[in-house]
Each structure stands twice: as C-alpha cells, then as structure tokens.
Structure 1
Amino acid sequence: MTTHGHDLSSLGWNESFAADLPAGAVPARVARVDRGAAEVITSGGHLQAVYSAPLRRAAAEDPVALPCVGDWAALTLLAEGRHELASLLPRRTAFVRGGVRRDSRGGLSGDSQGQVLAANVDVVFVAEPSVHGGDFADLGRVERLLALAWESGAQPVVLITKADLIGEHLADLLADVAAAAPGVPLHAVSSLLGEGLEVVRSHLSGSRTAVVLGASGAGKSTLVNALAGEEVMETQQVRAGDGRGRHTTVHRELIPLAAGGLIIDTPGIRRVGLYDMSQGVDLVFSDIEELAQECRFDDCAHESEPGCAVLAALESGELPERRLASWRKLQREAQWMAGRTDARLRAEQARKWKVIHKSMRGRSRP
C-alpha cells in the first residue's frame, strides 16, 4: 500500500465532516483496525494511532462505538510523539451486523449488540459467486445482506462474481437474483477475464467509498485487486477439505484506488444477524409489501386469512414459496432483535438510574 500523502477530499472528506472536527484535531480516515489501535490515513500519509481512554470506555459499553474501517476520526499528537485517535466523527452511514446466532436446537440466541463492519460507505457491493461449493448463488444470503445494506443508508449493488463459471445458465441466474433484489442494480462480473469491471468502477466515481461483502470464496479480494490493478490485499490459499475459497481476505482494509474512489474488502461472512431494522427488510421484499397492500385486512399476517393477496400470488406461482419463507424468517429475526435491543436499553437505563440514586443517597448523608 502507498504511504505518501493524500488530498483529503479524494478520501471522502467534506464540509460536513469538517464541521464536526474538534478544534486543534487532525482529520484522519481509518484504513485498518487492530486491538486498541488503528492505521489511519491523513493528508501526510499513513499513521498508527492508539485509542484514547474515552473512546475505549465508550466501546466497552457499546461495541458499535469501536472505530471501524471507513470511520473519520479526530487525531491528536501525544507528548511522547505518538498519535492518539481521540474520537470518531458522526457516521453518515454504517453497515452493522447483529450478534444473533442459532443455537443447537435451531432457536435464536446471542446478544443485541452490533458490530460495525464499515462506516461512511456510499455503495455496498453484495458479492455472490455464480457457483459456490457446487451450488448456484444463495438467494437467501443475498436477501439478508441486502436488508443490512439498505439499513446502512448506502446504495446496495449485487455483483454475481465468477460469472465465467456458469456458462449458458448465467441469464437464468441473473433473472432469479433480480427477482430477489427488486430495485437493486445487478451486474455479472468475471475478475479473471476482466468482464464487467468498468460497470463496477462506474459506482466508484470521484471519492465514493464502497464495501464488498459476501461469503468466503466469493471472489471479493480478486475483484478488489482487479479494480486496483495490483495485488493490494493479502490473501490465503484454499485449505484442503473445508471448502474455503481461494483468495480469502483475513482483515478489513480501506483501499484508495488510483482511478478514483475507495473500496473496503472484508473477510468472508458466514453468519450475519440483522440489527436494528427499520425499513431494510421491507425494501428487500418490496414485491411482497406491494402485494400486501391488496389484502382484505390491514393487519393480514399472510398465513390463512381470507382475501390475502400474498397467499393468492403464492398459489398462482407469481410469488415463489422460497421468497415468502425468506421474508417470514427475516421478519421474525428483525422482531426478535428489536425485542432484545429494547430489553438491553431498558436494562442500561435502569443501571444508570441506580448509579444516580446511589450517588444522591451518598450526598444526602450527614
């Protein structure tokens, strides 16, 4: 990676961020994170910065407050010559996954706290390989990642990678993915052959930032290297017997591209829980939401109610059974996470009041 200086505007710096920068601080964009420290990019080049005590305390209470790749930060110089990441500037967008997982009995478990995978991104590239482990693209995974992408505030774009491997079935696959991603740009890409790269670059004009998300073996790092025109990401080869794809990224990193724009590569995602959903699921399943407007009852659950337009579309074949099942699954998970989040917020509020009351009792004693 280059270490020379950068024009901050080429990294996405603008007046909005400048207005939030504390007096005397230096603006820096987080390129890579480690425990307790981060590699940041400033106008003078790349630096290592340790986290300030207030930042560590905030992150201990809520992992979402941890610095992540793409963040803009306020940097200060310590007396001993080291740089300190004093605080984060407000995020314009954030791709956050929840801590939800499935237990041994198939139920939902985990906590309600999230993890920010990338911040201040303009585009979320959902990379899904045309063929992975002998199977065609996983539409359910595409829908899940799209829900989080919409919720982040960025523009989702679906990329069918390794498009050269599927041959004559590509058109059918694109049609299936398009039905699972209404209103989302969809492109077929072959990084090895250089096909589709220009249309991908068109989403990165100026100083726009994109993050590439997908499963291990989806060709994310190969795509990033092709866009950069050089090997910018360290990769590891496939391990025999476990099915992990070739060129598997081992860390998240922000890469400024010579042709303009920035891109964040990410490790393969095995399980992504929903987090703090408001409209993400509804936008992914806008076709079902539109059908629901025609149901006889406003509170129709689309289970067995008379006059249900969703069930009618299912029976006629207009709506695939797989898609309705996926919608129900993500709706249940979003509602479960909302309940967990509410419970956590109530518990945190109760703890704060307990501390306040204890302090007040101490002051009132003679």
Structure 2
Amino acid sequence: MSKIDMKSLGLSQSFSNEAAKYKGLYIGRIISQYKNLYKVVTDNGEITAEISGRFRFDVTVSSDYPAVGDFVMLDRNEDISGNAIIHKVLTRKSAFIRKAPGTSNCEQIVAANIDMVFICMSLNNDYNLRRLERYIGIAWDSDAVPVIVLTKADLCDNLSQKLAELDTVACGVDVLVTSCLSDEGYLPVKKYLESGKTIAFIGSSGVGKSTLINMLIGENTLITREIRNDDKGRHTTTRREIIVLPGGGVVIDTPGMRELGIDSVDLSKTFADIDELATKCKFYDCTHSSEPSCAVQKAINDGLLTRDRFLSYLKLKKEAKYEGLNFKQIETEKLNVMFKEVGGMKNARKVIKGKNKKR
C-alpha cells in the first residue's frame, strides 16, 4: 500500500520536530470527530482513535481535548487491533475557539491549525456589511489569514457598488468574487489553494460554502441547500470535517456561525481604521462621544468614516463584554456600569442604605 504524503495534509517541519520528541509514537491528523471517537489520517491511511485514560486524567480545560485539524501522537499508524490511542496533541498554530455559555470561561476548539479562512457571503439576500465585520474579527482572532469570498455574483446587478462598500470594512483583506454558473467562476479561489495549506470555510448557512467546496473537490460530496425566503439559511453541515483536495491541500467545512461567539473577535484588526483615528484624539481615554478634539467624531463629520461602521464597532465591543453571561449577570453588569462613579452596584446599595437611615 502506498504511503500518504502527510506534508500535503499540512504536516510542517515544526510539527515534525515536535513529534520527534515522542519516541515510539506515530503522528496523524484528525479529520473528523463523532462524540468521543476521532477519525485520524496517518501515513498508512485512516484509522479510528480515542484518547488515552492518562490523557483524559491530565486534561485541565476543555480546549485541551483534540479537535478537527489537530496533529496528534498515536500508539499506531495502522487500522489493526481496535481503536488507536491518542497520547498527545501537538502545539496548535491557529484555532477557532468557542466559549461555553455562563461564567465558567470554558473554551472549546472548533477547528485547529488553519492557514487561511475563506469568509463566504452571497451577493444576494445574505449580503450584510455589519455581519461581515464580525466574520473578519473572528477570522483574525483565530491567527489565520482571512479572505472574503463573495458568492453568487450572477445574482447581483450592482457588483461595483457592493465592492466599493466592501472597501470600507475589508481593511487589507483580499476580496474574491465567484459565480456558480461555470467552473471558471471559481478560478479566483483555486489560485489560493496549495499543497500543505489548510483552509477553513465560514459564513452563514446557504451562502454557497458547500457548493464552492464541491467545485474544488470535483464532485458533489456535500449536500447543498439554498437560503430560505426569510434570508436565514438551513444548516447543511452538521459536523466539522477535513476534506482533502485532489490538487493538494485540505479544507475544513464548519457548521454555521452559531458555532462561534462574539468573544472570538479581534476588534483591533477588524476596526484598525478606527483604532488609528483614536490615537489622534486629544484624550487617551476618549470615548468618542462628546469629548473635544475627538478624531473619530471628526472623521464621521468629514465623511471619512461612516456612522454605521462606528456604531457597529461600539455594538461589537459591548457584546464582547457581555458574551457568555446569562440574563441576570448581564443586568448586574449593566448596573455596575451605571453606578461606576460610586464604585459599582455594591457600593451604590451602601449609599442608598445610608441615605435611608438618615431619613
């Protein structure tokens, strides 16, 4: 049986060097997961694996568990004598992270070791600049390089106008335009595919991620569905998996963006233009609301920055602060902000009690 070229699946020299430290173990890459079992590809083919009892005992946080895209060390590289055992997860170079709800601050890795993130958005009903800002922030936060992929260009009659609008939010991110009418419509994407590179596809359901991946694979491997009339896509992908491309490289198809919370957003890169303006404000702690000599407000008044983009920036900052909190915790946090001048809600209660006693 011919050996599988692990380098074409993303095995870099740094992973190989780290793997060499674990004598007697074999390297593999996780390509899918179902509950507590993992499908792993090694140089001898695909095997089913599970984590060792020692691994489970040593785990301190949920993000330590293996995830799709991880390179792992196993006790075998052949599909013999039951499930292989995963003993070690190699150091990740990038990751999509989902935060668990509540205040536990637990994190789950959605996908790991990604080189590039294709942010897919259709040019019909799904097109939304504010949502795109969220996607770009999530992509930057993963430590991968984002690329905006506009799909269904054949359904758009004002492409030049939408591309001009994109310039206000892209901030150095490449923008590709695709169409499903012919194979040529996907040529811009194919130029980014290289052997050994891992690409993740994210975006709302129904925007054409599965159709795009099918075109790259050359067969209808993934089921595709259209966006509903209410602009909400049906979730087609139900689990994360790695798909090997015929020309080299791999893609990771992820379920809808509900997988990732607003906490996974890098605002500094997504809104680099606003951060740059903020450095020119008179006061270092300027809130960009009513302070004199505010460079951000001046840019809005001069037409250099749209008010919608600034409001989106404020909204994302606020949501990131409250992400993961339940309703009661959010209300408490809001009250603390309201009573910040007297030291928060706890001190406010003391002040109120003191006033009541004087009466």
Instruction: Find the aligned partners of 1:325 and 1:55 in 2 and give their Cα distance.
Output: 46
Given candidates 240, 244, 253, the residue that maps to 2:241 is: 253
Instruction: Find the aligned partners of 2:274 and 2:87 in 1 and give their Cα distance.
Output: 46
Given candidates 124, 136, 141, the residue that maps to 1:146 is: 136
Question: Do 1:221 and 1:247's aligned partners in 2 also have CA atoms closer than 8 Å?
Answer: no
Please report the RMSD computed on the Cα atoms of aligned residues, expressed in angstroms: 2.7
Among the aligned pairs, what percent are the same residue?
36
Amino acid at match of 2:287: A
| 2:178 counterpart of 1:185 | no
Instruction: Find the aligned partners of 1:163 and 1:282 in 2 and give their Cα distance.
Output: 30
Give the paired residue count: 322
Question: Do 2:99 and 2:324's aligned partners in 1 also have CA atoms closer than 8 Å?
Answer: no
| 2:209 counterpart of 1:211 | no
Q: Report the Cα offset of residue 58 of structure 1.
A: 5.3
Taking structure 2 as the reference length, the TM-score comes to: 0.81
Q: Which residue of 2 aligns with 1:56?
A: 56
Q: Report the Cα offset of residue 256 of structure 1.
A: 1.2
Instruction: Find the aligned partners of 2:72 and 2:48 in 1 and give their Cα distance.
Output: 13
Q: Which residue of 2 aligns with 1:231?
A: 220
Amino acid at match of 2:302: S
Q: Which residue of 2 aligns with 1:83?
A: 84
| 2:317 counterpart of 1:331 | yes
Q: Report the Cα offset of residue 93 of structure 1.
A: 0.8
Q: Which residue of 1 aligns with 2:65?
A: 66
**1:228-248 alpha-carbon deviations (Å, 9 max, x no partner):** 111232x26569887654782
| 2:262 counterpart of 1:274 | yes
Structure with max Cα Rg: 2
Q: Which residue of 2 aligns with 1:92?
A: 93
1:1-366 → structure 2 map (5 Å cutoff): 5-21=3-19, 22-57=22-57, 61-77=60-76, 80-99=81-100, 111-132=104-125, 136-167=126-157, 169-233=158-222, 235=223, 237=225, 245=233, 248-270=236-258, 272-275=260-263, 280-336=266-322
SS, match of residue 171 in structure 2: coil
SS, match of residue 249 in structure 1: coil
Show structure 2 runs of 5+ residues with no match. 327-359
SS, match of residue 31 in structure 1: strand
Question: Do 1:4 and 1:46's aligned partners in 2 also have CA atoms closer than 8 Å?
Answer: no
**1:85-144 alpha-carbon deviations (Å, 9 max, x no partner):** 2221110111213345xxxxxxxx665222222111100111111123xxx512222111
Q: Which residue of 2 aligns with 1:356?
A: none
Question: Do 2:119 and 2:201's aligned partners in 1 also have CA atoms closer than 8 Å?
Answer: yes
Instruction: Find the aligned partners of 1:203 and 1:11 in 2 and give their Cα distance.
Output: 15
The worse-fitting range, judged by mean Cα deviation, of 191-200 and 256-265 is 191-200
Instruction: Find the aligned partners of 1:153 and 1:20 in 2 and give their Cα distance.
Output: 20
Q: Report the Cα offset of residue 151 of structure 1.
A: 1.5
Q: Report the Cα offset of residue 42 of structure 1.
A: 0.7
Taking structure 1 as the reference length, the TM-score comes to: 0.80
Question: Do 1:276 and 1:338's aligned partners in 2 also have CA atoms closer than 8 Å?
Answer: no
Show structure 1 runs of 5+ residues with no match. 101-108, 341-366
Amino acid at match of 2:319: E
Change (3 A) 1:91 1:240: closer
Question: Do 1:96 and 1:148's aligned partners in 2 also have CA atoms closer than 8 Å?
Answer: no
Instruction: Find the aligned partners of 1:253 and 1:122 in 2 and give their Cα distance.
Output: 16
Amino acid at match of 1:149: A
Question: Do 2:235 and 2:255's aligned partners in 1 also have CA atoms closer than 8 Å?
Answer: no
SS, match of residue 140 in structure 1: helix
**1:309-361 alpha-carbon deviations (Å, 9 max, x no partner):** 11111223321121111111222233456999xxxxxxxxxxxxxxxxxxxxx
SS, match of residue 92 in structure 1: coil
Amino acid at match of 2:254: T
Instruction: Find the aligned partners of 2:301 and 2:205 in 1 and give their Cα distance.
Output: 36
Instruction: Find the aligned partners of 1:172 and 1:57 in 2 and give their Cα distance.
Output: 56
Instruction: Find the aligned partners of 1:288 and 1:4 in 2 and give their Cα distance.
Output: 54
Question: Do 2:119 and 2:202's aligned partners in 1 also have CA atoms closer than 8 Å?
Answer: yes
Instruction: Find the aligned partners of 2:113 and 2:308 in 1 and give their Cα distance.
Output: 33
**1:182-220 alpha-carbon deviations (Å, 9 max, x no partner):** 110011111343344222122222211100001111111
